[in-house]
Amino acid sequence: MDHLFKLDNQDLIEPITDDLEGWSVIDGQPSMKTWIMRTSNDGSMISGVWTATPGTYHAVYAEYEFVHLIEGSITITPDGGLPTYVAAGDAFVVEAGFSGTWEITESVVKHFDIKL
């Protein structure tokens, strides 16, 4: 069984262009694409790339996600909470159970790892 994988296969994968489960547009006309580039050997994690254009989504998270933002900027605001601004170069975690808005102010590209 292989144990090391370089995630350089994005050009070979057809992106998912539907909005993610739990995500709904609440302002503007943003669009997203998701490339799942690897599923872990035990099936418990996925890794890939996600892009989105400006606009605002309301998002509900069922799983834990680690994000490294490569391009763009987002203001993320938990329901009833304070906003957090993230921009290119930032890394952050969204815990399962998060519910709130992602206001994409500049088109984004992110690498992600999601625990299923």
Considering the chain, what percentage of its residues have pLDDT values greater than 90?
97
CA distance 3 to 34: 23
CB atoms inside a 10 Å sphere around CB 80: 7
CA distance 22 to 57: 10
**pTM value?**
0.94
Q: What is the pLDDT of residues 33-84, one digit of tens each?
A: 999 999 999 999 999 999 999 999 999 999 999 999 999 999 999 999 999 9
User: Which domains are seen in the chain, by residue range?
Assistant: 27-115 (2.60.120.10)
CB 108 within 8 A of CB 55: no
Does the pLDDT of residue 113 top 90, yes or no?
Answer: yes
